[in-house]
Amino acid sequence: MFTKRTDRWLAGLALALFAQAAFADLMLFPTRIVFDKQRAAQVQLMNPGSEPETYRIHLVNRRMGLNGEFISIETPGPGEQFADAMLMYSPHQVTIAPGGSQIVRIILRKPAGLTDGEYRSHLQFDRVAEASGGSNVEDLARAGGGGVGVVVQALIGASIPVIVRHGQTNASVTLSDVQVLPPSSSNPQGAIALQMNREGNRSVYGDLVATVTTPGGVTLEVAKAGGVAVYVPNAARRAVMPLQLPAGAVGLPVGGVLKVSFRDRPDAGGKLLAETSLALP
């Protein structure tokens, strides 16, 4: 016999399962686009699932929060510059067969007199609900003959930043406020927290890596986070990296030195952008 609590639990479980499946049915490459000198780019959408998927494509504007979260916005704040008015893309909706792919082409058209700096919008891909009688609640009830029916059709979206750089742009970044966080339910081995501080008129993007050098001189990588950005106009972003300790290790070594580095991604040359150290008690 089902109770109302069981019904809610089933609905939540179904929603989670459908959301995971729908998210897995869209792959994007690349995951960000930067217009520097070029005027055209493309994104490849891939459907690794077993059913055809339809996605509606549009441009949106978002602000990055202090912890890296994105907030949808309509009006730019101080220092924010949108790229959507300069971008054209095609197609605006795609249906991708199982195992198939689709190219979305993007063209940049800069207006005359554009101010130097960085402009950013996000290309959003929204999954379109399947319009079929099989998801109709009344049809399912008649077919099942009663009982509890849970019908969930998750609409899952993904987006990538599209960045336009014009004229003279520059940026620098420093790392500060490094802390070692104790184990928690979300990070069973603990974590490293820090703040990234950005200056200039362009964003920074790269990989964070934390290493520990033991009193005996052995250096181990203990945490990393790939593809971390601080977008204009943000002056700072907080980041947390879960610790990934060697098997059998409990906490960081007493008396060691923790070093956190921020580098360009390998495909951009891997240049060191910022680094800081912390002596472990």
Q: Where do the CATH 2.60.40.10 domains begin and end in the chain?
A: 4-166, 171-279
pLDDT score for 130: 66
CA distance 164 to 129: 32
- Are 103 and 135 within 8 A, CB to CB? no
Residue in this structure with the two tokens 């204009």, named with its chain if needed = 232
> What is the value of pTM for the model shown?
0.80
- Are 110 and 117 within 8 A, CB to CB? no
The per-residue pLDDT string of the chain (281 residues; one tens digit each, 9 = 90 and over) reads 444 443 443 334 333 333 333 444 789 999 999 999 999 999 999 999 899 999 999 999 999 999 999 999 999 999 999 999 999 999 999 999 999 999 999 999 999 999 999 999 999 999 997 654 444 545 545 555 554 545 444 557 789 999 999 999 999 999 999 999 999 999 999 999 999 999 999 999 999 999 999 999 999 999 999 999 999 999 999 999 999 988 777 788 889 999 999 999 999 999 999 999 999 98
At 87, phi and psi to the nearest 5?
Answer: -110, 140
Cβ neighbors of 164 (< 8 A, separation 6 or more) are 35, 83, 86, 87, 108, 110, 118, 119, 120
CATH classification for the domain delimited by 4-166, as one of 1.25.50.20, 2.30.110.10, 3.30.360.10, 2.60.40.10 = 2.60.40.10
pLDDT score for 134: 45
pLDDT score for 143: 53
Burial level of 161, CB count in 10 A (0-12/13-18/19+)? buried
Enter the tokens of residue 3: 């109770």
* CATH hierarchy code of domain 171-279: 2.60.40.10
C-alpha distances out from residue 159 to 70, 95, 271, Å: 11, 17, 27
